[in-house]
A and B are shown apart, each in its own frame.
Chain A
Amino acid sequence: MSDTSQELHAQSMTELADGLDAGEFTSVDVTRSLLDRIGELDAKLNALVTVTAHEALAAASRADQARAAGNGGPLNGLPIIHKDIFCTRGVKTTCGSRMLNNFISPYDATVVEKLADAGAVVLGKANMDEFAMGSSNETSYFGPVRNPWDLECSPGGSSGGSAAAVAARLAPAATGTDTGGSIRQPAALTGTVGIKPTYGRVSRYGMIAFASSLDQAGVITRTAEDAARLLGVMAGFDERDSTSIDRPVPDYSGAINEPVKGLRVGIVRQHFDEGLDPQCGIRVKEAIAALESLGATAVEVDLPNLDLSVPTYYVVAPAECSSNLSRFDGVRFGHRAENAEDLLDLYCRSRGEGFGDEVKRRIMTGTYVLSAGYYDAYYLKAQQVRHLIADDFKKAFSDVDVIAGPTAPSPAFRLGEKIDDPITMYLNDIYTIGANLAGLPGMSVPCGFVDDLPVGLHLVGAHFAEETLLRFAHQYQQHTDWHKRCPEMFK
């Protein structure tokens, strides 16, 4: 089997599933091969915070037994990595923060539970920006993740560890979360596929909260086919998440095979204004032309309030973050300061020591915009503008099936380049934030390279139009091979 095992890391989840079904290799073979690879290569990337080798091999062995007995779920024996924002019972769950450096979750997130029930084998937990607040993975307490395409560059964030691991073939798939672009932007910067479903499509239970009206779980893979397979397992109603939507889960894996002929693709003129790297713009326009060659029709649509999406986000998200993160008090779990003088000192010092700079900055921004005298001017105003932005999308989707454009304004930027300037960093999410504000599904698909760094095509759909996004992405991938390109160092 040595010939096969050398190539196991290069296979997509669907290819691995076929190989397992055909008895070409076992889940233990796959798991061992990827764990070896992680051991050998992750020192270059810092993509993983925790490797769960022992648990993974035990789960793989159980999966092989189930398969031999003719049982096993839809992901039986298939490897995955979880972003370290998802609570995993008995395993450290840090959220990239010193605050949770010692936190062993007493329960599983719904996403973790559903994937485990389907038979998936968890290889480890992925590094991320602290509490998912960042677009470069540099805010992690555990150090930045490096981009497999250029180790001096950022993989994006906040799901940077997930994206880097999938791009470097340490795993075929990893979970992620997306509050303003945190799945799609790192997917674009690492040449992977990332999908953020409709708000409420996937349960948020056990996913450590950042901004509850924007947070949504999704997945990073190399193919749309794998994303469809995983989303089919992850999606669905969960009574433990009060904003979960009770609506049947469609057959995503079936839907992707439908052609895109006759569908309408909306192009937003402002997406190609001066904020976009011109070379990236060319790659994205080529991708849109490819969709047209598959029979889709491109038309111009207008999102007049697009410019306001980033400032709206930087009121709403910090406001919700300041409220969510008030639970970290140094008492019940998380970092606790030594020798506190009194209760107030315990709170202030535990939080001051446990949170990093960007998290503190967002908590304070949120506290400010919610404080007496400023609420109407900032928070209420932002929620009104949010309505305008959502209405723009609604109008656009009365005319088109999908909106296509760039995922990020440039290819991967260098580590250290933007970290000292919060506004420049925030503007990295200019194309992705709108989908979160309006609760829409969004997806990034690799669509070429600029100076040997990947570029992502961004697709946004109407509420619950994940099938349409996956269909466009899969059909595009049937006619392109960008997603098959592998960083030289990780072949």
Chain B
Amino acid sequence: MSLSKDQVQHIAMLARLKLTDDEYAESVEKLSRIVDFVHQLSQADTSDVVPMAHPLDAAQRLRPDVVTETIERDRFQENAAAVSHGLYLVPKVIE
């Protein structure tokens, strides 16, 4: 089962990845092989099998809805490429 270049371009856009032309060519070939490989799952008989949600069947733990974290914005923003007045800067979104 082979993927087309259009399909790979669509997947890359959904994944927010810009690829070079060489990367597209390689991705079409290798992703097709991976999809082929995982396609063997279709042969497994899974009628009446519940999809696994958690390896230990544990339920999601909840905590009381109270504030536990402190704001350390300045420290966290040290890792950002562009900040100003406590805000993260991105290219203009609204004209």
Assembled-state Cα–Cα distance A384/B76 (Å) = 40
Q: Tell me which residues from 29 to 58 in chain B have a Cβ below 8 Å from any Cβ of chain A.
A: 30-31, 33-35, 37-42, 44, 46, 49-56, 58
On chain A, the residues within 8 Å of B82 by CB distance are 336
Q: Is B84 an interface residue (CB 8 A)?
A: no
Instruction: Kindly state the separation between the CA atoms of A381 and B42 in the bound complex, as whole angstroms.
Output: 7
Contact B55 A213 (CB under 8 A): yes
The reply to whether the CB of A58 lies closer than 8 angstroms to some CB of chain B is: no
Selected from B31, B33, B55, B81, the residue in CB contact (under 8 A) with A364 is B31
Given A340-B91, A371-B14, also A463-B56 (CB < 8 A): yes
A333 to B54, CA, bound (A): 30
Neighbouring B residues of A333 by C-beta, 8 Å: 79-80
Contacts A242-B61, A388-B49 given; indicate if A348 touches B34 (C-beta within 8 A). no
Binds B, one of A4-12, A133-141, A352-360, A478-486: A352-360
Query: Using an 8 Å CB-CB cutoff, how does the interface string of B75-92 with A read, 1 for contact, 0 for none?
Result: 110111110000010111
Could you tell me the distance between the alpha carbons of A6 and B85 in the complex, rounded to whole angstroms? 54
- Measured CB to CB, the nearest residue on chain B to A336 is B81
Contact residue range for chain B? 35 or more
Contact of B79 among A104, A245, A361 (CB under 8 A): A104
CB <8 Å contact, A371 and B11: yes
Q: Chain B nearest CB: distance from A3 CB in Å?
A: 46
Does any Cβ of B come within 8 Å of A50's Cβ?
no
Q: How far is the CA of A311 from the CA of B56 in the complex (A)?
A: 21
Closest to A370 in B: B14
B residues within 8 A CB of A426? 37
Per a CB cutoff under 8 Å, which of B18, B33, B76 touches A348?
B18
Q: Is B19 an interface residue (CB 8 A)?
A: yes
Chain B nearest CB, measured from A104 CB (Å): 6
Q: Are A200 and B51 in contact (CB under 8 A)?
A: no
The chain A residue sitting closest to B92, CB to CB, is A342
Asked whether B12 is an interface residue with its Cβ less than 8 Å from the other chain, the reply is yes
Interface residues of A in 359-395 (CB under 8 A from B): 360-361, 363-365, 367-369, 371, 377-378, 380-388, 390
Q: A242-B61, A314-B34, A364-B12 are in contact. List 18 more A-B contacts (CB 8 A).
A: A200-B55, A200-B56, A200-B58, A213-B54, A213-B55, A243-B58, A311-B40, A333-B80, A346-B90, A346-B91, A349-B18, A351-B17, A364-B15, A364-B31, A367-B15, A368-B11, A380-B51, A383-B53
- List chain A positions with a Cβ less than 8 A from chain B: 102-104, 106, 198-200, 213, 239, 242-243, 245, 305, 308, 311-312, 314-315, 322, 326, 329-334, 336, 340-349, 351-353, 355, 357, 360-361, 363-365, 367-369, 371, 377-378, 380-388, 390, 422-423, 426, 437-440, 463
